[in-house]
Structure 1
Amino acid sequence: MTTASPRYSRIIGTGSFLPPRRLTNADLAVQLAKDDIETSDEWIVERTGIRARHFAEPDVTSSDLALPAARAALEAAGVKAEEIDLIIVATSTPDMIFPSTAALLQHKLGIHGCPAFDVQAVCSGFVYALTVADSMIKSGAASKALVIGAEVFSRILDFKDRTTCVLFGDGAGAVVLAGSDEPGIVASELHADGRHVDILCVPGNVAGGKVLGDPFLKMDGQAVFKQAVNVLEKVARSVLQKAGRSESDIDWLVPHQANIRIMQGTAKKLKMPLEKLIATVDEHGNTSAASIPLALDVAVRDGRIKPGHTVMLEGVGGGFTWGAVLLDF
């Protein structure tokens, strides 16, 4: 006798981790001044809303950051590591070319046998990974999943380019997703447009024991801003339509933490008061795939997001990728 697959999946626990080293804008300005690169706290805050970020030590990897985030999510969910039957890590800064960061994390958690793989959609990665895990749980392929965003973006920053190096930070965020008969993830939608691959990229690779191309992050800030503003409102409205909901049903908006102006602009277009916007970009900077689960965990743990609340997650990233998930807590 077979058991019917659950109709839904729900987030039952969240967790996050930031490396201890915190750099304020003033700290970063002093570091950059050594190479005659000028910046200031005022310049960074005015353009981005970022006041500080965390950088991992040189020997710390994405899976190292993912491990405490995963353990915190498991503890919050009341789930043992051996109960997990799916691990998906969203990252653009994997520990190795292969095996996957998810497989390395699986080993560090002391479990084995379940599928473990990475998703690479840059800053949209967590939304992509969560959507994949939701589909696998609904299909019956998994019952409890660890979905994690983990990044060490400090490794791919050009500290002679002040337009990018001041934006990013390192960290990890995690959720435990479990099958449920009650609605959790209500609707989701994913997109990509490869015509815009060059506006945000790291155009390098490893071959023959050497780095070919450029191993540092490159970004056309104005083009990214324009694309982000254009797609975030549209994908949010599309997901709401799929769910049969309206903007007024959203209790909290948790967007990718890239730029406070993009985040506030999206909230206003959705007719949401800024008090309903979860913003951690001021303290975390842009942590790429880790930014949404980091912000989500902060808001769950400080009591803003409560059971019964409806939350919209949305992200944009290199590729160009974007997507959104509507969920009930």
Structure 2
Amino acid sequence: MKEVYITKVSKFLPNEPVSNEQMEEKLGVINGKTSKARRIVLRNNKIKTRYYAIDENGDVTHNNAQLTKEAIMGLCQNGFAKEEIELLSCGTSSPDQILPSHASMVHGFLKNGNIEINSPSGACCSGMNALKYGFMAIKSGQVNNAVCTGSERTSSWMKSDVFENEISHLQGLEENPILAFNKEFLRWMLSDGAGAFLLQNEPKGKTPIRIDWMEGYSYAHELETCMYAGGEKLEDGNLKPWSEYPADVWGKMSLFAMKQDVKLLSENILVKGVDSLKKAMTKHNITQDDIDYYLPHISSYYFKENLYDELTHQGVEMPWDKWFLNLENVGNIGAGSIFIMLEELVNSGKLKKGDRILFHVPESARFSYSYAYLTVC
């Protein structure tokens, strides 16, 4: 089996950072009223700036595939050309369309010759699954290099016009035209951007980082859907997909908006996250002492202290000096978050040979968790 190294890292964040005060101006006001939920959510998540692929006129500047292509082009310099890519593996929660696949559209923008592509579906773990596919392909000797990405362009899913049809419908029924909190919650949480890694079977570059192992765990067998888009959650906990609704109600129910069952999230995301972390650490016989940098993908700083408490409660306390986070400045970029976190850590100049890094990536869609353990070479 070959060794696998991350030899280059890159990110692309569109346009200028958007402050909390600018968010509603960018995404639009629903029903002419400033959101009360916005203040509640922002107070808890403590995100100060994020990025949107929207210009000052509210027009889209980049789609998801274009964001991803720009991140990849950041890898294709200083001795590595896009024509050398052997495998392209791209994960996202927010593809630009149902078909063709996200990786196929990215490849179309790259125009770099005939290569293998892979598009894992899902939410935040889709980026980690894209990374794992590249990791396994190099590990098994299928290819010598792979470009793996995680990206999101959720701003267009959160713009006010996505919800106006529903609001108008509620007004027509003489009902209170206020969005349910589970729909509005994610409007104030998510950010646009893309991150990319170049994986190779040799430790090239200034700061090569070996991927020692990757693990994944799902709890869908015991927990119902928590975050979803393209469907509606029924009272019995099952998800009814958009394809089973008449087309004329898609807009009336905002079926294609991202939604979050906030109660289910708070009850399970940390407990299952630490449970799966313990499984991964036990399987590979490591302890907290074998980790120099802990990179947990959290959607909100609300979870930071609670995650620490849950780690401690389950016997895997992670000292604060090991944590590396950037949520405050870039926002929650879903599948792209872990890529952008490592890019910032690499470029911080803090890493030294022998440092060990642990990725901890949760996905609330139906509670999945992905892990990677890395060593700086």
Q: Distance in 2 between matches of 1:33 and 1:102?
A: 33
| Residue 45 of structure 2 is aligned to residue 48 of structure 1 | yes
| Residue 32 of structure 2 is aligned to residue 35 of structure 1 | yes
TM-score, normalised with respect to structure 1? 0.87
Q: Does structure 1 retain, via aligned residues, the 8 Å contact 2:75–2:197?
A: yes
Q: Which has the larger radius of gyration?
A: 2
Alignment-mate amino acid for residue 143 of structure 2? A
Q: Distance in 2 between matches of 1:133 and 1:263?
A: 30
Describe the shift of the 1:292–1:209 C-alpha distance in structure 2 as closer, same or farther (beyond 3 A). same
Q: Distance in 2 between matches of 1:151 and 1:67?
A: 12
CA distances 1:14-40 after superposition (whole Å, capped 9, x unpaired)? 100111143211222565487313348
Q: Distance in 2 between matches of 1:263 and 1:112?
A: 44
Q: Distance in 1 between matches of 2:130 and 2:198?
A: 12
In structure 2, the residue matched to 1:191 is 217
After TM superposition, give the deviation of residue 325 of structure 1 in Å: 0.9
Q: Distance in 2 between matches of 1:231 and 1:158?
A: 32
Q: Distance in 2 between matches of 1:94 and 1:153?
A: 9
After TM superposition, give the deviation of residue 243 of structure 1 in Å: 2.8
In structure 2, the residue matched to 1:137 is 138
Alignment-mate amino acid for residue 170 of structure 1? D
Describe the shift of the 1:311–1:283 C-alpha distance in structure 2 as closer, same or farther (beyond 3 A). same
Q: Distance in 2 between matches of 1:243 and 1:136?
A: 21
Q: Distance in 1 between matches of 2:370 and 2:335?
A: 12
In structure 1, the residue matched to 2:163 is none
Q: Distance in 2 between matches of 1:295 and 1:326?
A: 14
Q: Does structure 1 retain, via aligned residues, the 8 Å contact 2:37–2:185?
A: no
Alignment-mate amino acid for residue 53 of structure 1? R
In structure 2, the residue matched to 1:319 is 366
Alignment-mate amino acid for residue 220 of structure 2? G
| Residue 307 of structure 2 is aligned to residue 261 of structure 1 | no
Unaligned runs of 5+ in 1: none
Q: Distance in 2 between matches of 1:91 and 1:82?
A: 23
Unaligned runs of 5+ in 2: 55-59, 161-178, 232-241
Q: Distance in 2 between matches of 1:288 and 1:118?
A: 16
Q: Distance in 2 between matches of 1:128 and 1:144?
A: 16
Superposition pairs of residues 1-329 of structure 1, within 5 angstroms: 5-6=1-2, 8-29=3-24, 31-32=28-29, 35-39=32-36, 43-57=40-54, 58-75=60-77, 78-157=79-158, 159=160, 161-180=183-202, 184-194=210-220, 196-204=223-231, 205=242, 212=250, 214-267=255-308, 269=311, 270-317=316-363, 318-329=365-376
Q: Percent identity?
A: 21
| Greater strand share, structure number | 1
Describe the shift of the 1:41–1:94 C-alpha distance in structure 2 as closer, same or farther (beyond 3 A). closer
Alignment-mate amino acid for residue 314 of structure 1? H
Q: Distance in 1 between matches of 2:97 and 2:184?
A: 27
Describe the shift of the 1:183–1:290 C-alpha distance in structure 2 as closer, same or farther (beyond 3 A). closer
Q: Does structure 1 retain, via aligned residues, the 8 Å contact 2:37–2:184?
A: no
Q: Does structure 1 retain, via aligned residues, the 8 Å contact 2:87–2:117?
A: yes
After TM superposition, give the deviation of residue 171 of structure 1 in Å: 0.5
Describe the shift of the 1:37–1:126 C-alpha distance in structure 2 as closer, same or farther (beyond 3 A). same
SS in 1 for 2:124: helix
After TM superposition, give the deviation of residue 154 of structure 1 in Å: 1.3
Alignment-mate amino acid for residue 75 of structure 2? A
Q: Does structure 2 retain, via aligned residues, the 8 Å contact 1:87–1:114?
A: yes
Q: Distance in 2 between matches of 1:94 and 1:324?
A: 23
Alignment-mate amino acid for residue 251 of structure 1? D
TM-score, normalised with respect to structure 2? 0.77
How many residues align structurally?
A: 323
Q: Distance in 2 between matches of 1:174 and 1:110?
A: 17
Alignment-mate amino acid for residue 28 of structure 1? M
